[in-house]
């Protein structure tokens, strides 16, 4: 299995490569990709440098152009595909059907990967993308249980990549409009969920409040650690009780599932987090590299080592990790 790591900047890209990433993925510095953060991502010059570095070390580079262009943005998004092609990336990660069609007809020789934002949760959906755009690989949404991944993998016409570690989206990706309902930006339209520009923090007598476009997402009492106000991870009131009504602030960690994923024929595991620092990327990439190497060396004998677990939980949201939907009980 391949290790695919995020690169939000050139230092992060180099760090990922140096720490054992088989491939890295990046986006351009605009809303053509699903991690539009101020100060993050690549212009063409930086991208060219990154690609050269990765290739010199034997790693591959994927370019994510995985938001949905509206007519006004169509030329810009098309140009992003042209730029990626011109830079010599090893694959383009796409979600929009129109853009997939453009990439497939204009650059048939550059592999296309279906982004998780393409929201393909069945092998029939994968066949749709394979038949129409000849995709090589698809990234599966984080909503599937291991049994469901097994079902998809058994009949999949394409290589599969699954999320291994990082932030956990609990909604089917690519079809979640919660962020644009509370703010004017969503992952699909602007590559942003719960955008930082809409976030405000207030110290109040009742505690520290986090708000998104003035909507109270959470309020933290003394000693509670505060997290970024991703709107689905707040505490809300339903029928008189206040709780994490949608999801707790936890991270996804599938180290324990590696042998299962390998047995299912999964081609690659993906680390989430282009918004993360190079130091974070170094720790995560190194840990997963060790785990994957261990899996290769000792088939059937794989165990998760304690220091891997400690490293990863230290890097997780709220210090907590979950198998997410891979684990049926989570539901």
Which positions lie near another protein, rule CB under 8 A? Answer: 68-72, 74, 95-102, 118-122, 124-125, 127-129, 131-132, 143-145, 148, 151, 170-172, 174-178, 180-184, 186, 188-189, 213, 215-217, 219, 232, 234-239, 241-242, 245-247, 325, 328-331
Q: How far is the CB of 161 from another protein (least distance, A)?
A: 17
Nearer to another protein, 69 or 166 (CB): 69
Lookup: tokens for 91: 């694959």
Nearer to another protein, 177 or 201 (CB): 177
Nearer to another protein, 54 or 176 (CB): 176
Bridge partners for 163 per DSSP: 270
Position of tokens 């309020």?
219
Tell me the C-alpha distance between 296 and 190, whole Å: 39
The C-alpha angle with vertex 145 and arms to 141 and 150, in degrees rounded to 5, equals 90
Task: Tally the C-alpha atoms within 13 A of residue 252's C-alpha that lie toward its C-beta.
Answer: 25
Q: How far is the CB of 322 from another protein (least distance, A)?
A: 11
Nearer to another protein, 280 or 330 (CB): 330
Q: How far is the CB of 12 from another protein (least distance, A)?
A: 29
Nearer to another protein, 57 or 175 (CB): 175
Tell me the C-alpha distance between 251 and 318, whole Å: 8
Phi-psi region of 222 (alpha: psi -120 to 50; beta: other; left: phi over 0): beta
Q: How far is the CB of 120 from another protein (least distance, A)?
A: 6
| DSSP letter (8 states) at residue 42 | B
Lookup: tokens for 2: 């391949």
Nearer to another protein, 127 or 294 (CB): 127
Phi-psi region of 201 (alpha: psi -120 to 50; beta: other; left: phi over 0): beta
Q: How far is the CB of 236 from another protein (least distance, A)?
A: 5
Q: How far is the CB of 229 from another protein (least distance, A)?
A: 11
Q: How far is the CB of 19 from another protein (least distance, A)?
A: 32
CA of 99: how far to CAs of 128, 134, 165, in Å?
A: 15, 13, 28
Nearer to another protein, 246 or 295 (CB): 246
Contact (Cβ atoms closer than 8 angstroms) between residue 61 and residue 50: yes
């Amino acid at each position: 299995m391949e290790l695919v790591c995020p690169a939000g900047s050139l230092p992060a890209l180099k760090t990922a490569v140096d720490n054992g990433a088989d491939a890295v993925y990046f986006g351009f510095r605009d809303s053509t990709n699903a991690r539009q953060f101020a100060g993050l991502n690549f212009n063409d010059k930086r991208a060219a440098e990154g690609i050269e570095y990765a290739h010199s070390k034997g790693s591959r580079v994927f370019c994510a152009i995985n938001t949905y262009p509206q007519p006004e943005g169509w030329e810009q998004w098309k140009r992003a595909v042209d730029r990626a092609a011109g830079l010599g990336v090893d694959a383009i990660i796409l979600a929009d059907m129109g853009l997939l069609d453009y990439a497939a007809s204009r650059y048939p020789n550059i592999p296309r990967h279906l982004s998780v934002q393409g929201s393909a949760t069945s092998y029939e959906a994968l066949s749709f993308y394979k038949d129409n755009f000849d995709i090589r690989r698809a990234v599966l949404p984080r909503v599937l249980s291991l049994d469901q991944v097994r079902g998809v993998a058994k009949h999949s016409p394409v290589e599969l990549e699954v999320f291994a570690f990082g932030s956990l989206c609990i909604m089917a990706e690519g079809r979640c409009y919660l962020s644009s309902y509370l703010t004017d930006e969503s992952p699909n339209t602007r590559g942003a969920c719960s955008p930082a520009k809409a976030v405000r923090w207030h110290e109040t007598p009742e505690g520290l409040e986090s708000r998104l476009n003035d909507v109270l997402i959470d309020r933290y009492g003394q000693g509670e650690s505060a997290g970024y106000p991703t709107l689905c991870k707040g505490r809300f009131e339903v029928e008189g009780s206040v709780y994490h009504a949608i999801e707790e602030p936890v991270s996804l960690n599938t180290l324990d599932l590696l042998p299962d994923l390998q047995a299912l024929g999964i081609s690659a595991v993906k680390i989430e987090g282009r918004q993360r620092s190079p130091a974070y990327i170094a720790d995560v990439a190194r840990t997963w590299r060790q785990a994957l190497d261990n899996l290769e060396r000792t088939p059937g004998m794989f165990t998760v080592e304690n220091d891997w677990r400690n490293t990863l939980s230290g890097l997780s949201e709220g210090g907590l990790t979950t198998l997410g939907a891979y684990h049926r009980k989570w539901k």
